[in-house]
Amino acid sequence: MTEATTRLHWQNALDKLPGLINIGRFSLLLSLLTFHVLSQLMLDNGAIRSSLPIFQGAQFYTWVLVYIGLIVATLLVPQWQNQGTAMPNANAVADITMMAWLMYLAGGIDSSFGILMLPFITTACLLSQGRYSLLYASYASLLIVLLAYWSSHSGQEAQDAKLWLNAIMLVAGCYLVAVLTAFAAAYLARSRLAYNQQARLLDRFRGLTDLALNHVREAVVVLDEGGKVRLLNQQARFYFPSLAEDTVTKLFRQQHHHWSRWPRQVFEMDTHIQEHAVRVRARPFADGDIPLLMLFIRWEQDLAQEAMALKLAALGQLTANLAHEIRNPLSAIRQANGLLQEEEQDPLRSRLNNMIDSNIARIDKMLEDVGALNKSDRAQKQAVDLMMFWRAFKQEFLLTKPQAKNSITLKVSDGKLLVWCDPMHLQQIMWNLFNNAWRHSQQNAQAIQVVFRTRGEAEISIAVLDNGTGVSPEHQQRLFEPFFTTSSEGTGLGLYVARELAQANLGSLNYRAQTNGFELILPRVLNE
């Protein structure tokens, strides 16, 4: 048995001590009542000598009633017994007093009933965690000395030397029991403190482990030899809703079979579970003498998305570097083309110069989109009033697209609409959405419709709709891919950059086919 297990057993015993004391009191009371009734019957029949300790009826029953009251009070008011260590335990003092009274009723020191004080001195020291042990022993000794003094002067005891010898032995026993119990109680108190500290550390460690386990991207499942699920995290519950702890599952028969053949081998396999392509990493381990198998499971779809994210991150870094390198020669080309336009030109040369200008503008737009993408992780968020933002944005948009002056309508839900985002990011997102909507609309009076509304209590929806033909189903899945475009003049980065900026502001951007438009969702400022 380890030291920690021993401490735990002692901890449980100390917690049960008040209940055990009550059981001891009741047992003692029942035994004394039985002894009294039987002794009275045997005395009446002459079966015993009158020199044996016989309780007087009225006095003994008074003691019984008082002791029953003590037991009932302890049961009804447990705080009296578990009052802590700030003061001596009044309940323990009452027990010692009752035992001294019982010894007096039994005839004094020589009745041997004084030994009943020792268990209650022991329990008093344990309940006080070793404190006041000498005080309990001194109080019991005082009662013993007083009782011995009374016995020696009452004429009930003929042998004073034997009387005082018994008293001295009983007093020595009280102090010896108190001192030994105090050492044991002090050790138990230190053990209890250490146990509580270890328990708190284990609780914190368990909480950190659960937090880490439930925030990993992989589904974690722990199986035993019988296929019973011993542990699973939140991701495993998401992947396999039918799984539950302490239940036998057959979902991982292939991995379980491999484990049974090679019980110590770490392995990895690609397989299908519930019609999903998954990658499984398995690691055997043991919990004591119990062999277990821990499975780390990922959907292939998630792995592919992560690989794509890594590629896009690398591509973003590459394009940022390219954008920096391209700007210098691009400026030289623009300047050279401007100088050529100053010369006398024929129609053919003019068309060539215009082609150069348009392609330079297209490259500039692509570089601006790439620059916005690389600034998405540096959002400077603040509360933005949508109505004030809308008035400034609409005015700026109409300066570049004056033909859309009477083609934009706005619908707003009730209440003040404040979003928490970077206003420059919001400007970039709305600019991309409006350019896209105007380009694909019918460019008439109902070309673009904007809807501001609350979405629950914590979000605001901004919908930008157009009256065009919409996006074909085969293109909807690729709308937000970088460099995907259906326009010969587009760069393919506008919607991709817009979604990245939305996510950088803890929002989202999605295409809604049923309304033929895009919906931007941003966090709402709650303390309006």
- The per-residue pLDDT for range 39-71, each reduced to its tens digit, is 777 766 655 554 555 567 788 888 888 888 888
CA separation for the pair 208, 483 (Å, rounded): 42
Reduced DSSP (H G I as helix, E B as strand, rest coil) percent helix, strand, coil of the chain, to 5: 60, 15, 25
CA separation for the pair 10, 15 (Å, rounded): 9
Angle at 406 between CA 400 and CA 407, to 5 degrees: 80
Q: What is the mean pLDDT of residues 295-324?
A: 73
Q: Which helix (H) or strand (E) holds 1?
A: none
462 phi, psi to nearest 5 deg: -120, 110
What share of the chain has pLDDT > 90, as a percent? 6
Angle at 290 between CA 289 and CA 293, to 5 degrees: 135
pLDDT exceeds 60 at position 13 = no
Q: Which residue has the tokens 């519930």?
A: 274
pLDDT at 157: 44
If pLDDT is split at 50, 70 and 90, which confidence band does 448 have?
A: very high
pLDDT at 452: 92
- The per-residue pLDDT for range 94-140, each reduced to its tens digit, is 888 888 888 888 777 777 788 888 888 888 887 777 778 888 888 88
pLDDT exceeds 70 at position 300 = yes
pLDDT at 369: 62
CA separation for the pair 74, 209 (Å, rounded): 43
Q: Which residue has the tokens 């792995």?
A: 303
- The per-residue pLDDT for range 147-165, each reduced to its tens digit, is 888 777 765 444 577 778 8
460 phi, psi to nearest 5 deg: -130, 135
pLDDT exceeds 60 at position 528 = no
User: Per residue, what are the HEC states of 207-256?
Assistant: HHHHHHHHCCCCEEEEEECCCEEEEECHHHHHHCCCCCCCCECCCCHHHH
Average model confidence (pLDDT) for the chain? 79
Give domain limits for the chain: 3-199, 216-301, 303-374, 382-523
Q: Within a 10 A sphere around the Cβ of 240, how many other Cβ atoms?
A: 20
216-301 CATH fold: Beta-Lactamase (3.30.450)
Which residues are within 8 A (CB) of 313 and not within 5 positions of it... i.e. 6 or more apart?
none
pLDDT exceeds 60 at position 269 = yes
CA separation for the pair 49, 58 (Å, rounded): 21
Average the pLDDT over each of 18-27, 356-365, 432-441 and give the range with the smallest value: 356-365
Which tokens go with 345? 């030109």
Q: Within a 10 A sphere around the Cβ of 436, how many other Cβ atoms?
A: 21
pLDDT at 137: 87
Which tokens go with 297? 């499971």
Q: What is the mean pLDDT of residues 191-212?
A: 74
Determine how β-strand 408-412 pairs with β-strand 459-466.
unpaired
pLDDT exceeds 80 at position 223 = yes
CA separation for the pair 123, 245 (Å, rounded): 43
pLDDT at 136: 85
Helix (H, G, I), strand (E, B) or coil at 322: helix
- The per-residue pLDDT for range 474-499, each reduced to its tens digit, is 777 777 777 667 665 556 677 888 88
pLDDT exceeds 60 at position 374 = no
308 versus 126: the higher-pLDDT residue is 126
What 8-state DSSP symbol labels residue 491? -
CA separation for the pair 282, 218 (Å, rounded): 12
- The per-residue pLDDT for range 451-477, each reduced to its tens digit, is 998 888 888 999 999 988 888 877 777
If pLDDT is split at 50, 70 and 90, which confidence band does 1 have?
A: very low
Q: What is the maximum alpha-carbon separation in the chain?
A: 151
Average the pLDDT over each of 76-90, 189-203, 278-292, 508-522 and give the range with the smallest value: 76-90
Whether the Cβ atoms of residue 228 and residue 246 lie closer than 8 Å to each other: yes
Which residues are within 8 A (CB) of 147 and not within 5 positions of it... i.e. 6 or more apart?
100, 103, 104, 108, 109, 114, 167
pLDDT at 521: 92
CA separation for the pair 130, 373 (Å, rounded): 70
- The per-residue pLDDT for range 161-192, each reduced to its tens digit, is 777 888 888 888 888 988 888 888 777 777 77
> In what side-by-side order are the strands of the sheet with 508-512?
408-412, 448-455, 459-466, 517-523, 508-512
Determine how β-strand 290-299 pairs with β-strand 276-287.
antiparallel
pLDDT at 36: 76
pLDDT at 184: 81
CA separation for the pair 139, 43 (Å, rounded): 35
Distances from the Cα of 357 to the Cα of 38, 332, 342, 353, 503, angstroms: 123, 12, 14, 6, 34
CA separation for the pair 523, 458 (Å, rounded): 6
Q: Which helix (H) or strand (E) holds 158?
A: none
Whether the Cβ atoms of residue 260 and residue 240 lie closer than 8 Å to each other: no
Whether the Cβ atoms of residue 126 and residue 177 lie closer than 8 Å to each other: no
Q: Within a 10 A sphere around the Cβ of 372, how many other Cβ atoms?
A: 21
Q: What is the mean pLDDT of residues 328-344?
A: 74
Whether the Cβ atoms of residue 260 and residue 326 lie closer than 8 Å to each other: no
Closest of 90, 80, 140, 150 to residue 116, by C-alpha: 140
Number of Cα atoms under 13 Å in the Cβ half of residue 250: 0
What 8-state DSSP symbol labels residue 524? B
What share of the chain has pLDDT > 70, as a percent? 80
Q: Within a 10 A sphere around the Cβ of 68, how many other Cβ atoms?
A: 13
The pTM of this model reads: 0.41
pLDDT exceeds 90 at position 520 = yes
pLDDT at 316: 63
CA separation for the pair 238, 269 (Å, rounded): 21
CATH architecture of 382-523: 2-Layer Sandwich (3.30)
